[in-house]
Amino acid sequence: MMGRALITGAAGGVGEALAKRLSREGYTLVLTDRDGDALEKVSDALPQPAELLVADLRSEVGLKQLCDRLENPKSPIDLLINNAGIIVPGPVGSLPNDLMRAHVDINLTAPMVLCAAAARAMIARKKGYIFSIMSLAAIGPMKNSASYCGSKFGLRGFKAALALELEPHGVGVGGLFPSAIDTPMLAAEMASPDGSPLNFIGNVKPLTPDQIADHVVKAMNKGRLETWLPKSDGFMASLMMMFPKLLKPVVGYFERQGEKKKQDYLKTLKSS
């Protein structure tokens, strides 16, 4: 499907890679982020300028602005990609209440609200696609990232139910569940002593934003509800959650396995 795509969190990292990839696929782009200057730089690097919307996903005003755009019948949105996200690791008791709320606001509430607006418009046209950049932390928990996991677990359930609702109307729903992605967000997460080594279990090194963008296009072309990267990690996380009594020893084992890769990653950050 081609048409017009709206991407959240489009000012860099995966959002920027998605903008470039979808532009090559022939999409007209609507890019949104709270960083207007960075958003303009992304747009300037595209073959065709994008429509830019500076909006904060924690703001009711910002969400309304994006919902109005999604439901504008004069220039309909054919593809919504929920890409914006936040993760600040730390034990639950150490995080300020507002920071815990920020995880829910950005990772769960905003995508839900935007999905609802997109669904209303797409149902009326009987076509469209809603896609979200998720995380393997939506399938299996990470210690010291409870707020993040809670928000992603919630979004996974929401999208699965949404897919059942929208399928009869010809509207597709999908999500990508990757492990570590080589972005400033990962660097900030790993700079904390509480950054989870589970990010480094399956892949030899973190996926690049360009690889993520390629996987998104492949997943949409195949119409998959969920795509796990790597698939083995998604399978192990699913299996682990089937047997909660094994959660502690299994997570502990994989944390030890991932710690060396985490330290190797941190060394690359120091040398760059």
* Distance, C-alpha 136 to centroid of its chain: 10
pLDDT tens-digit series, residues 46-103: 999 999 999 999 999 999 999 999 999 999 999 999 999 999 999 999 999 999 999 9
pLDDT at 270: 85
Residue range 17-38: average pLDDT? Answer: 98
Close Cβ partners of 160 (under 8 Å, ≥ 6 residues apart) = 225
| Res 116: pLDDT | 98
Q: Look at residue 1 in the predicted model and tell me its pLDDT.
A: 56
Write out the two tokens for 107.
């990772």
| pLDDT at site 136 | 96
The pLDDT mean for the chain works out to 95
Give the pLDDT score at 202: 76
pLDDT of residue 205: 85
Give CA–CA dist 159/112, Å, rounded: 8
**pLDDT > 70: what percent of the chain?**
99
Q: What is the reported pLDDT for 168?
A: 98
The pLDDT score that the predictor gives to residue 271 is 82
pLDDT digit string, tens, across residues 123-141 = 999 999 999 999 999 999 9
What mean pLDDT do residues 98-117 have?
98
What is the pLDDT at residue 204?
66
Mean pLDDT within 106-127:
98
Q: What is the C-alpha to C-alpha distance for residues 81 and 131, in angstroms, rounded to an integer? A: 5
Count of CA atoms in the C-beta half-sphere (13 A) of 110: 31
pLDDT score for 201: 85
Within a 10 A sphere around the Cβ of 99, how many other Cβ atoms?
13
pLDDT for the residue numbered 115: 98
Give percent above pLDDT 90 in the chain.
92
Instruction: Answer positive or negative: Cα dihedral of 20, 75, 174, 85.
Output: positive
Classify 119 as helix, strand or coil: helix
Q: Which pairs from 106-109 meet CB under 8 Å and 24+ separation?
A: 106/57, 106/58, 106/151, 107/148, 107/151, 107/152, 107/155, 108/151, 108/152, 108/154, 108/155, 108/158
Q: What is the mean pLDDT of residues 166-170?
A: 98
